[in-house]
Amino acid sequence: MSLIPPDHWRPLFDSVYEMNTAKDHADFLSAVATGMSRLISAELCVVHVLNRRDQRMVVKTSPENPYTEEEMAYYAANPGGDPLVSHFDRTGCTKAVRRSDVMRLRDYLKTPHFIHCQKRLGFIHTLALPLRIDAETVGALSLDRSGADFTKHHCELLNAFAPHFLLAWNRHPNPWKSVDEPVLPAREKFQKLGLTIREADVLFWMTEGKQNREIATILGRSLSTVQEHVANILTKLGQENRHAATVFALRSLEKQ
């Protein structure tokens, strides 16, 4: 017997419809994040998909990502510290699970994961759904709250949504298509400065005023990878900070 209240079926169908009518993957991810946050009351909804072969990742949050670079870097370096990640890795579970289902709240509040990633925001409850898209591609939907815990019917809602997500994801021919087009001319010029292709891409977005975590989302890379690229760029260009590197890059474009 379904635990989903009758008044939740229409919002679920609306979310599925919006997801399937998205024009591209960026719009698709936005539809998923906003649809889930409307369907299940939460202070933060996150949808991310990772290609394990080359570590490309796309992420969308609703509302805008509230985490600091330090919090994101800690999580990227210690994903197994999240009790839910550990649970999914250990059990191979493919169903939605609440963090309270795998660890008592009083114990979770003592974990390094909570202290370094969630304490500042006060998120003490999480509901997550693992997504296995194909042999190389995995992802997750997660919702966070600082108030009351999620319920069993919230788990049922995510489980009902999962197969529709997988079908909609595969509707588009190239899930990893990025915004490379405006980057190409600058990429070629920045490579003449001794940068790799990816470093040239990162430098382009730096000149567009993007911060590291924004660049990571645009390029489908982890925050730590982008930080490493930025450090390499500063070294190769002989600049002390990203502002100086950006000015140097813009001047080099004017000369070419």
Domain boundaries, the chain: 6-169, 181-251
CA–CA dist 146, 247 (Å, integer): 42
Q: Is the per-residue pLDDT at 8 higher than 70?
A: no
> Are 8 and 162 within 8 A, CB to CB?
no
Full DSSP string of 197-248:
HHHHHHHHHHHTT--HHHHHHHHT--HHHHHHHHHHHHHHHT-SSHHHHHHH
CA–CA dist 161, 201 (Å, integer): 35
Greater confidence, 245 or 217?
245
Full DSSP string of the chain:
---S-GGGHHHHHHHHHHHHT-SSHHHHHHHHHHHHHHHS--SEEEEEEEETTTTEEEEEEES-----HHHHHHHHH-GGGSHHHHHHHHH---S-EEHHHHS-HHHHTTSHHIIIIITTTT--EEEEEEEE-SSSEEEEEEEEESSSPP-HHHHHHHHHHHHHHHHHHTTSS-TT--S-GGGHHHHHHHHTTT--HHHHHHHHHHHTT--HHHHHHHHT--HHHHHHHHHHHHHHHT-SSHHHHHHHHHHHHHH-
Note the pLDDT tens digit of each residue in 200-224: 888 988 888 888 887 877 776 788 8
Q: What is the CATH number of domain 6-169?
A: 3.30.450.80
> Are 130 and 142 within 8 A, CB to CB?
no
Q: Is the per-residue pLDDT at 36 higher than 60?
A: yes
Predicted confidence at residue 233, as pLDDT, reads 93
Confidence label for 255 from pLDDT (cuts 50, 70 and 90): low
Fold entry, domain 181-251? Arc Repressor Mutant, subunit A (1.10.10)
Report field, pTM of the whole predicted structure over 0.85: no
